[in-house]
């Protein structure tokens, strides 16, 4: 009898141990699943937070660029962020320059375009079409812009467009320092100088050699060889017109050979400059769950520099 009781107790204990073991295994499994879910959702939340933070930084950078350039009116948001509705309703042609003071657009159109020295260049180049009949002076930017806005026919619009392209003071800037190497335009500029000097060159050829300017790392230079056979007065006239040209030339080496009767041969090697091309590309930025989230960068004032933000791609 005692043996049977002992066997029954042992079976009960064994069964209890099995239940406890199953309970422990179930609890461990449940805890493992819970920990896995916590880690998974923590990484997911961290990743989404990083993506949102980087998107906010990109939106803030683009909003800053748009506002500082003056493409659209200033945003109503106190942080300087444009809404989708503001961007959809923005039309750069309808934006009055006076409504975006201090922007790159306002600085160019109000200050550079109104520069009297730049406005005088078309007149010096003997362009009578650039002279206003009312003032007897070169058309100002405001006059050209008003002429364009008030054009009613296709002919008037074409005339206003041609005047802006040929007479605007802003045209002088790319003429003085082109954005890319253009040997044909350089030779055309020199040819205008020679016409003003009443002289025809014997030879004028670009060497094709390019280098980085010692003046500024953003400037490139290429060489031009010039040969003049004329009297001293003509040579001095050509050199003076080159010196006063809006296009920058640097004469590095020159030789003069006298041949009598006030005739001489002038040989020179000069350097012309052009800007290094600016290329705006996309910047790829990979966001990982383990990365610490970064805060959005507020809009900053870069109107004087005209900075453009990099475009970020989020993986």
In the chain, domain spans: 1-89+279-315, 90-174, 180-275
- Give the CATH superfamily of 180-275: Ribosomal protein S6/Translation elongation factor EF1B (3.30.70.60)
- Token pair recorded at residue 287: 């966001």
Give the number of other CB atoms < 10 A from CB of residue 243.
Answer: 10
Reading the chain (315 residues) residue by residue, the pLDDT tens digits are 566 766 677 777 787 778 888 888 888 888 888 998 888 888 888 888 888 888 888 889 889 989 898 889 889 898 889 999 999 998 887 787 778 888 888 887 777 776 777 666 655 555 677 788 887 777 777 788 788 778 888 788 788 877 876 777 676 666 666 766 777 777 777 877 888 788 877 666 666 666 666 666 667 787 778 888 888 888 888 888 888 777 778 888 888 888 777 788 888 888 888 777 667 667 777 777 666 655 444 444 433 333 334 434 433
Q: How many Cα neighbours within 13 Å face the side chain of 44?
A: 6
**47 within 8 A of 286, measured Cβ to Cβ:** no
Alpha helices in the chain, H assignment, sequence order = 2-69, 84-89, 104-106, 116-119, 121-124, 141-149, 154-167, 172-176, 183-196, 232-243
Q: What pLDDT sits at residue 81? A: 92
Helix (H) or strand (E) segment spanning residue 313: strand 311-314
218 three-class SS? coil
pTM score over 0.75: no
Give the number of other CB atoms < 10 A from CB of residue 225.
Answer: 14
**CA–CA dist 168, 290 (Å, integer):** 55
Give the number of other CB atoms < 10 A from CB of residue 48.
Answer: 13
- Token pair recorded at residue 232: 């001293």
Task: Please give the distance of CA 266 from its chain centroid, rounded to a whole number.
Answer: 42
272 three-class SS? strand
- Token pair recorded at residue 229: 């056979």
- Token pair recorded at residue 118: 């730049």
Strands 263-275 and 249-260 turn out to be antiparallel
Instruction: List the one residue out of 105, 117, 179 whose CA is nearest residue 145.
Output: 105
207 three-class SS? strand
């Amino acid at each position: 009898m005692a043996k049977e009781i002992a066997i029954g107790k042992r079976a009960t204990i064994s069964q209890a141990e099995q239940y406890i073991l199953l309970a422990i295994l179930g609890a461990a499994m449940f805890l493992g699943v819970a920990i896995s879910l916590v880690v998974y959702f923590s990484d997911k939340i961290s990743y989404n937070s990083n993506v949102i933070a980087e998107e906010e930084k990109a939106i803030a950078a683009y909003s800053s660029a748009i506002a500082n350039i003056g493409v659209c009116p200033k945003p109503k948001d106190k942080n300087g962020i444009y809404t989708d509705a503001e961007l959809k309703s923005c039309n750069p042609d309808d934006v009055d320059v006076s409504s975006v003071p201090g922007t790159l657009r306002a600085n160019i159109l109000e200050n550079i375009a109104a520069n009297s020295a730049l406005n005088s260049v078309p007149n010096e180049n003997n362009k009578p079409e650039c002279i206003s009949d009312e003032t007897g002076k070169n058309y100002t930017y405001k006059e050209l812009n008003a002429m364009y806005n008030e054009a009613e026919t296709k002919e008037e619009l074409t005339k206003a467009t041609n005047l802006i392209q040929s007479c605007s003071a802003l045209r002088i800037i790319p003429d003085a320092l082109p954005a890319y190497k253009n040997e044909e335009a350089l030779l055309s500029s020199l040819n205008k100088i020679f016409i003003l000097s009443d002289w025809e060159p014997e030879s004028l050829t670009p060497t094709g050699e390019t280098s980085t300017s010692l003046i500024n790392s953003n400037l490139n230079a290429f060489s031009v060889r010039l040969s003049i056979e004329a009297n001293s007065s003509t040579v001095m006239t050509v050199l003076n017109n080159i010196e006063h040209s809006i296009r920058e030339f640097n004469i590095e080496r020159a030789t003069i050979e006298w041949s009598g009767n006030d005739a001489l041969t002038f040989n020179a090697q000069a350097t012309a400059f052009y800007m290094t091309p600016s290329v705006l590309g996309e910047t790829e930025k990979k966001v990982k769950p383990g990365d610490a989230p970064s805060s959005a960068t507020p809009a900053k004032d870069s109107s004087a520099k005209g900075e453009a933000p990099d475009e970020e791609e989020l993986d």
